[in-house]
Amino acid sequence: MLDTVVFRRIRTAARRFAGANEGNIAILFGIAVIPIITFVGAAIDYTRASSARSSMQAALDSTALMLGKDLTEGTITASQISDKADAYFRALYTNTEAKSVAITASYTQNSGKGSTVLVNGSGAIDTGFMRVVGYPTLGFNTSSTSAWGSKRMRVAMVLDNTGSMDQNGKMDAMKKAATDMITDLSKYWKKTGDVYISIIPFAKDVNVGTANVNASWINWSEWEAEPPILNDKNASINADFKTAKAGSDCPFTRNTHGFVCMDRPATQSGAQTRSTIPSNGYICPGLDNGKWPGKANIYYNGCYTTTTGSSASCGAFDATRCTCSGSGSSKVCHFWRGDDTAATAAARPAHSTWTGCINDRDQPNDTTNIDPGSSNDGTPSKRFYAEQWSQCIASTVTPMSDSWQTLKDQVNAMTANGNTNQAVGLAWGWQSLSTENGPIKAPSKDSDYIYQDFIVLLSDGLNTQNRWSSSTSSIDARQKILCQNIKDDKLHPVTVFTIQVNINKIDPQSQVLKECATPDGSFQMITSATQTSDAFKNILTQISKLRVAK
């Protein structure tokens, strides 16, 4: 019986042994743990190598950019590239795990489509886990290329010339910073076409120069028009004006209507005020003091001829410029001599007396760089309006040029005068970059090159006057549309930098200037004239980074 029991127990134990799997799991785990540890270790080692490589890539990128800048500016020669590359890289590469680090730099000189510097780097790390499977080190390599010469730049410098720039040393500081920037940008010029710069001085208007007096893109209709207040049927001047005749008191009064009566156009030599209407002669509006929005300090370039009596008539005169009232001996006719070919020089100054100022185009063309055309294109006009502004700034628009001294002379000749209309300056800055639309088209672009267009807009205050208004918010609204149109032009992208010179923070931050800067540009607000130079240097640094591509 004992034998039976023993046999039964042995048999049961044998069955349990045959069915047991705990030992198999242990064996399998023992076999699998080696590759598991190896894979985990490899991941750790690869992460360390990747970190070392990423650090190397960043250092190589900066090294390549700095070498490109040095070569462009002529601060190093081709023979110094290897040593300079090594010095830059060693200063920038801070990863302590990498071993056997080596770099090489090669330079391909400008062959018509640009120059390049290629910097290659390699290194290795000592492995911790992978050495157990026969990999004591893990190598890596990477490279970076800096290209220039294949990229060309065009910079429109839009500079505030308003009266307030004459305060606190702002004008002198801007001149110094702008001429220094021209000098620095000129260093990128290696051959014709590499760099062009335009200068756009602005106040309420821009001055395009009197040499353009016969240009087909100028609209003279406002120059020749009577004061707009006389077209306001609700203005009190109309009732006085209709009944005025020889011997009557002058129907214009400065405080009520914005100007006085003159015996000839106010720009004419010897012009004097009149208190009454002469029996033979003219009454001419004097300098506008701003009663009509946007017309402050504007001269009118025409006069009224007055005829009275039953025979008084507009005759062959343009009915839109001639008005009659009354009847019989009380009949009075006034004719505006603005564009009448029969008018004498005493009544209508010639276009040759124009001082060169241009104001905003008709809306919505004031917010675009559409071509002005060369014909009388109706309303809204695409052409630019001539204006005889008493505060017309002296400095004129300079189209894209690589005559560095001429550009500097233009900046140094700037004087401060008038109110602020940033939009008109910005619009002309954008025009100066266009290769398609006049009136100051930029030179055509060579398809072998990549072009980068920039606008640098500096202003020291808020907007105060444009063609239509003296309301900051109203002028800002037009400028906001213009800025957005520049940003939306993806076919001809422009990078915009803006600077607000706000001495002692007298003004609030200009939101429209801030928002006008493009994402790849910047907005800077400086609070002293001495910061102007640094602001321009910051922009130059950004331009350099954008120009010398990775």
Any idea which of 88-97, 134-143, 318-327 has the lowest mean pLDDT? 318-327
Is residue 525 domain-resident?
yes
Q: What is the tens place of the pLDDT at every residue in 153-194?
A: 999 999 999 999 999 999 999 999 999 999 999 988 888 999
Considering the domain architecture, whether residues 171 and 259 belong to the same structural domain is answered as: no
Any idea which of 16-30, 128-142, 266-280, 360-374 has the lowest mean pLDDT? 16-30
Is residue 208 domain-resident?
yes
Considering the domain architecture, whether residues 494 and 366 belong to the same structural domain is answered as: yes
CB 59 within 8 A of CB 51: no
Percent of the chain predicted with pLDDT > 70:
88
Q: Say what the pLDDT of residue 379 is.
A: 79
Is residue 129 domain-resident?
yes
The Cα 496–Cα 487 span in angstroms is 9
Q: How far is CA 207 from CA 204, 341, 396, 413, 447, in A?
A: 10, 27, 5, 13, 33
Say which residue, 255 or 319, is predicted with more confidence: 255
42's CB contacts (< 8 A; 6+ apart) are 129, 130
Considering the domain architecture, whether residues 202 and 344 belong to the same structural domain is answered as: no
Q: What is the tens place of the pLDDT at every residue in 227-273?
A: 888 777 667 777 777 777 778 888 888 778 889 999 999 998 899 99
226's CB contacts (< 8 A; 6+ apart) are 285, 300, 302, 304, 321, 336, 338
Q: What is the tens place of the pLDDT at every residue in 445-503?
A: 998 788 999 999 999 989 999 999 999 999 999 999 999 999 999 999 999 999 999 99
Considering the domain architecture, whether residues 326 and 456 belong to the same structural domain is answered as: no
Q: Say what the pLDDT of residue 2 is.
A: 38
Helix (H) or strand (E) holding 84: helix 81-92
Any idea which of 102-106, 145-149, 264-268, 374-378 has the lowest mean pLDDT? 374-378
Average pLDDT over residues 130-150: 82
Any idea which of 318-327, 422-431, 434-443 has the lowest mean pLDDT? 318-327
546's CB contacts (< 8 A; 6+ apart) are 452, 495, 520
Q: What is the tens place of the pLDDT at every residue in 354-395?
A: 999 999 999 999 999 999 987 666 678 999 999 999 999 999
Q: Say what the pLDDT of residue 22 is.
A: 58
CB 457 within 8 A of CB 514: no
Q: Is the pLDDT of residue 319 over 70?
A: no
CB 461 within 8 A of CB 473: no
Q: Of 109, 131, 148, at which residue does a domain stop?
A: 148
pLDDT bracket for residue 10 (50, 70, 90): very low
Q: Is the pLDDT of residue 550 over 50?
A: no
Is residue 7 domain-resident?
no
Instruction: Count how many domains the chain has.
Output: 3
Average pLDDT over residues 398-402: 98
Considering the domain architecture, whether residues 235 and 284 belong to the same structural domain is answered as: yes
Considering the domain architecture, whether residues 533 and 412 belong to the same structural domain is answered as: yes
Q: What is the tens place of the pLDDT at every residue in 272-300?
A: 999 988 877 788 999 999 888 889 999 99
Neighbours of 275 (CB within 10 A): 8
The Cα 137–Cα 153 span in angstroms is 46
Any idea which of 180-184, 316-320, 428-432 has the lowest mean pLDDT? 316-320
Q: Of 148, 167, 183, at which residue does a domain stop?
A: 148
pLDDT bracket for residue 322 (50, 70, 90): confident
Beta bridge partner(s), residue 322: 335
Is residue 18 domain-resident?
no
Considering the domain architecture, whether residues 523 and 408 belong to the same structural domain is answered as: yes
Q: What is the tens place of the pLDDT at every residue in 527-548?
A: 999 999 999 999 998 988 776 5
Average pLDDT over residues 343-348: 79
Q: Say what the pLDDT of residue 20 is.
A: 54
Average pLDDT score, the chain = 87
The Cα 391–Cα 415 span in angstroms is 11
Considering the domain architecture, whether residues 348 and 419 belong to the same structural domain is answered as: no
Q: Is the pLDDT of residue 128 over 70?
A: yes
Is residue 515 domain-resident?
yes
Is residue 5 domain-resident?
no
Considering the domain architecture, whether residues 198 and 320 belong to the same structural domain is answered as: no
Q: Is the pLDDT of residue 83 over 90?
A: yes
Q: Of 148, 179, 195, at which residue does a domain stop?
A: 148
Q: Is the pLDDT of residue 345 over 90?
A: no
CATH at residue 404: 3.40.50.410
Q: Say what the pLDDT of residue 17 is.
A: 47
Considering the domain architecture, whether residues 348 and 261 belong to the same structural domain is answered as: yes
Amino acid (1-letter code) at residue 258: G
Considering the domain architecture, whether residues 237 and 321 belong to the same structural domain is answered as: yes
The Cα 414–Cα 187 span in angstroms is 24
Is residue 437 domain-resident?
yes
Any idea which of 25-29, 320-324, 468-472 has the lowest mean pLDDT? 25-29
Q: Is the pLDDT of residue 113 over 90?
A: no
Q: Is the pLDDT of residue 341 over 90?
A: no
Per the structure block, which two tokens stand in for 545? 């980074």
Average pLDDT over residues 14-42: 58
Considering the domain architecture, whether residues 366 and 504 belong to the same structural domain is answered as: yes
Give the range of the structural domain holding residue 435, as residue numbers without chain letter.
Answer: 151-213+357-375+392-547
Q: Say what the pLDDT of residue 241 is.
A: 76
What is the DSSP-derived secondary structure letter of residue 90?
H
Average pLDDT over residues 17-27: 56
